[in-house]
Amino acid sequence: MPQIAENFFKLAVVFLIFGILMGLQMSISGNHSVIGAHAHTNLVGWVTMALFGGYYAVNPAKAETRLARIHFWSFAVAAVILAPSLYAMYMGFTAIEPLLAISSIVAFLSVLVFAAIVFTKAEATVRPPATAAAA
């Protein structure tokens, strides 16, 4: 599996853990005011990153490009800032809103980079043929 696919999957699992923790916190406290942050953490973090990882896993030639690395790092940084910023805003820390806005825009631009990757033709990669184990 390409490293970028693995990186997306690993980060997706981290977001899944935090999304579940947010859900548990809401359930236990009875306070559901952060439901938007919970949903974004699960959708942007867990689902979207896992889908990116899956795409790169089945398109290894595209996973090895500079554009794919730009996509990973820009989306990862944006999501890592976006989720806690949204949580903090829902908790009443409205001063965080500019950071939330910037991270949202970066996430959107990163998705446009991904769209460019999807819609461009991948160059063929040469791989050595698999060899059967000696019997």
pLDDT tens, 2-40?
999 999 999 999 999 999 999 999 999 999 999 999 999
Answer yes or no: is pLDDT of 107 > 70: yes
What percentage of residues in the chain have a pLDDT greater than 90? 89
3-state secondary structure (DSSP) of residue 12:
helix
Residue 123 resides in a domain: no
Q: Is residue 8 part of a domain?
A: yes
| Enclosing domain of residue 85 | 3-118
In sequence order, which ranges of the chain are alpha helices (DSSP H)?
Answer: 3-29, 35-40, 49-58, 60-63, 66-90, 97-119
Residue 121 pLDDT: 87
* pLDDT over 80 at 57, yes or no: yes
For the chain, how many structural domains are there in total? 1
Reported residue count of the chain is 135
Residue 92 lies in a domain: yes
Whether the pLDDT of residue 78 is over 50: the answer is yes
Measuring CA to CA, how many Å separate 63 from each of 23, 77, 100? 33, 18, 28
* Structural domain contains residue 15: yes
| Residue 56: inside a domain | yes
Q: Is 135 inside any structural domain?
A: no
Whether residue 133 is contained in a domain is answered as: no
Q: How many Cβ atoms sit within 10 Å of the Cβ of residue 115?
A: 11
**Residue 65 covered by a domain:** yes
